[in-house]
Amino acid sequence: MTPLVYAKINGRRVSDSLDLMDSTILQEMDVISVRSLQGYRGTQEIMSLVPNAYTFRLALAAIKQWAKRRNIYSNMLGFLCGVSCAIMLARICQMCPYATAFFRVYSNWNWASPVMQRIPEEQNYNLPSWNP
Neighbours of 115 (CB within 10 A): 15
- pTM, two decimal places: 0.76
Residues 3-59: pLDDT tens digits? 777 788 877 888 888 888 888 888 888 888 888 888 888 899 999 989 889 989 999
Distance CA 68, CA 91 (A): 21
> Mean pLDDT score of the chain, rounded to an integer?
84
Distance CA 79, CA 67 (A): 9
Distance CA 11, CA 17 (A): 14
Distance CA 65, CA 55 (A): 15
